[in-house]
Amino acid sequence: AGMRVAVVGAGVSGLTATKCCLEEGLEPTCFEQSRDIGGLWRYTEHIEAGRPSLYPSVISNTSKEMSAFSDFPYPEDFPVFLHNTQLLEYLRRYVERFGLRQHIKFGTTVVSVRKRPDFATSGQWDVVTEVDGKQTSHVFDAVMVCSGNLSEPSLPLHCFPGIERFQGQYFHSRQYKHPDVFQGKRVLVVGMGNSGVDIAVEASRVAAKVTVCTSRGAWVLSRVFDHGYPWDMVFNTRLMSLIRNSLPASLSWGLTNYRVNQWFKHENYGLQPEKRYFLPVLNDDLPSYILTGRITIKPSVKEFKDNSVVFHNCPEEEPIDIIVFCTGYDVSFPFLEEAIIKVENKHASLYKYVFPTHLQRPTLAVLGLIKPLGAIMPVIEMQARWVTRVFKGRRANVSSPVYQNAVQTGHILFGLSFDEVLKTDCLVYMDNLASFIGAKPSVLGLLCRDPRLALTIFFGPCTPYQYRLGGPGHWEGARQAILTQWDRTLKPTRTRVPAGSSSLFPSFLTVVGFLLLLAALIFGF
């Protein structure tokens, strides 16, 4: 019999994990506690315990070409940034296309995952599941934890003096569904992540007043970037990554600072970040809503009173009726023994953000516990491709001296708190994992054989199809998908084309391209 793998959860991570298992000839069983696939992306009006919660207006922050699974492009007529219903539809098509449904057990909760007594030699796990109150025990050769980290709200009320006196209503952003709750109210949003800004913008359309308070500020990017192209297709290219990672940190920071302030000067809007970190907030409306007085930005909360709030460095009280705490989520795996993933001070020791470092056998992996600057779906898929090959014992790279040394010296602490999330470029990380399985594209190698493709890969957006050009899981359609990526991006918006209009994508790239590539070669890759 083949190697049996338990996959926990049937959201983005669980689906691609199941598909990668099948691709490698493993036998996956995917356990999903709800009655359907989709995880975070399946909207439900009521909030279910242990499941992420979505508000109906959520739209993806990353464009469809950058967010696709690497061998399954989005339909060309789908919009460039996707409403949650369209993303769910894409996941349904993925399940259909790769025959995943038969491997998913719905309505099944994973209660516990424990090492078997002979784990040191077998690497096996005892997995207990529950259906309608009845528990069953299984033995699996490996486990992929795909349950996400957006279902345990973090609400540190002790950090907010006077909250117990506050007479109004308050709730965590997880509870938010519709803006009508804010009708005519004075609203305070605490925290400036993507949800906080989204909710503030929605609230400001119906509320009397909206204030957002933030201790650290944030860069704000619009989905609509240079010349109207999607932000991530301009930002996440191999050329940009090479520049960002070759420059000294201060210079790289200065460049980014200049770049993001081109849209609007963050300092003038009260948004300039305190620290030198770059995990931006994506929102198309915030600056104009600040400019029109709908939203005001304030420093962090000093204390709450009966019907008001006092901010640090601001003497006057601000009257408020309702507070939304957009304070993020705690990482929790209730079915795992605490010893398996040690989370201390919001840090977990995971090799490459995936494998718990102190297990004698690399037969348990955590997927998607990462916040890349870019699309998470292809990153999770790459993790799954690597993990399934490690499980099979091919090119494992976990038995490597580097891993063992990292384990001994503790050089793999993974920051789980917001300002210590993955510092590396998601492109560097993807390349790193791809090199473990032999799927990293070689721009230099392609330059001789297929110069057009090489230039597109280097100067164009780093779309996931690049990781299917060769190696295991090679996909015949990868080259074509890369060369037509701009066609699929522009198809849904170029719906009225005047006579004599220009070609689809700026072709100056190919002209300038060759010269720049030569320069890059002189710099050295």
Partners of 346 in the beta sheet?
none
Distance between CA atoms of 414 and 183, rounded to whole angstroms? 41
Q: How long, in residues, is the chain?
A: 525
Q: Is the pLDDT of residue 379 over 90?
A: yes
Q: Retrieve residue 178's tokens.
A: 């519709």
DSSP 72: B
CB atoms within 10 A of CB 300: 15
Sequence-ordered alpha helix ranges (H) in 127-261:
194-204, 231-235, 238-246, 249-260
Q: What is the pLDDT of residues 492-520, one digit of tens each?
A: 999 998 888 765 555 445 445 555 555 55
Q: Is the pLDDT of residue 129 over 60?
A: yes
Distance between CA atoms of 426 and 383, rounded to whole angstroms? 12
Q: What is the pLDDT of residues 57-90, one digit of tens each?
A: 999 999 999 999 999 999 999 999 999 999 999 9
Q: Is the pLDDT of residue 398 over 80?
A: no
**Residue tagged 């009257």 (tokens):** 319
Q: Helices 376-392 and 12-23: crossing angle, nearest 10°?
A: 40
Q: State whether residue 395 is helix, strand or coil.
A: coil
pLDDT for position 237: 96
Distance between CA atoms of 105 and 251, rounded to whole angstroms? 51
Residues whose CB falls within 8 Å of the CB of residue 312, separated by 6 or more in sequence, listed in order? 299, 300, 301, 302
Nearest to 321 by CA among 180, 182, 186, 171: 186
**Residue tagged 């117990």 (tokens):** 164
Distance between CA atoms of 20 and 439, rounded to whole angstroms? 14
How many angstroms separate the Cα of 492 from the Cα of each of 79, 82, 420, 498? Answer: 6, 12, 37, 16
Q: What is the pLDDT of residues 89-122, one digit of tens each?
A: 999 999 999 999 999 999 999 999 999 999 999 9
For the domain 155-222+263-327, what is the CATH superfamily, name and number? Answer: FAD/NAD(P)-binding domain (3.50.50.60)
Q: State whether residue 12 is helix, strand or coil.
A: helix
Q: Is the pLDDT of residue 406 over 90?
A: no
Distance between CA atoms of 275 and 253, rounded to whole angstroms? 11
Distance between CA atoms of 522 and 162, rounded to whole angstroms? 61
pLDDT for position 49: 83
pLDDT for position 401: 43
How many angstroms separate the Cα of 440 from the Cα of each of 189, 430, 445? Answer: 43, 8, 11
Residue 55 identity (one-letter amino acid):
Y
Q: Is the pLDDT of residue 11 over 70?
A: yes
| Beta strands 142-145; 364-366: pairing state | parallel
Average pLDDT over residues 207-218: 95
Q: What average pLDDT does the chain have?
A: 89
The enclosing H or E element of 490 equals: helix 485-490
Residue 288 identity (one-letter amino acid):
S
pLDDT for position 65: 98
| Beta strands 301-304; 308-311: pairing state | antiparallel
Fold match between 4-151+330-433 and 155-222+263-327? yes
| Domain positions in the chain | 4-151+330-433, 155-222+263-327
pLDDT for position 252: 84
Distance between CA atoms of 285 and 222, rounded to whole angstroms? 8
Distance between CA atoms of 172 and 153, rounded to whole angstroms? 7
Q: Is the pLDDT of residue 423 over 50?
A: no
pLDDT for position 394: 57
CB atoms within 10 A of CB 136: 11
Q: What is the pLDDT of residues 323-366, one digit of tens each?
A: 999 999 988 899 998 778 876 665 677 899 999 988 999 999 99
How many angstroms separate the Cα of 148 from the Cα of each of 38, 87, 129? Answer: 12, 17, 18
Distance between CA atoms of 27 and 360, rounded to whole angstroms? 22
pLDDT for position 347: 65
pLDDT for position 392: 93
Q: Which residue has the higher pLDDT, 244 or 456?
A: 456
CATH 3.50.50.60 fits 4-151+330-433, yes or no: yes
Residues whose CB falls within 8 Å of the CB of residue 198, separated by 6 or more in sequence, listed in order? 55, 57, 58, 283
DSSP 410: T
pLDDT range class, residue 402, cuts 50, 70, 90: very low
pLDDT for position 515: 52
pLDDT for position 253: 83
Distance between CA atoms of 363 and 444, rounded to whole angstroms? 35
Q: Retrieve residue 515's tokens.
A: 């010269």
Q: What is the pLDDT of residues 228-250, one digit of tens each?
A: 999 999 999 999 999 988 989 88
Partners of 58 in the beta sheet?
none
Partners of 415 in the beta sheet?
347
Nearest to 388 by CA among 459, 323, 473: 473
pLDDT for position 410: 38
CA atoms within 13 A on the CB side of 349: 17
First to last CA, the chain: 44
| Beta strands 413-415; 347-351: pairing state | antiparallel
Specify the long-range contacts of residues 248-251, CB closer than 8 Å, at least 24 apart: 249/276
**Is the Cβ–Cβ distance between 364 and 350 less than 8 Å?**
no
Q: State whether residue 189 is helix, strand or coil.
A: strand
CB atoms within 10 A of CB 512: 12
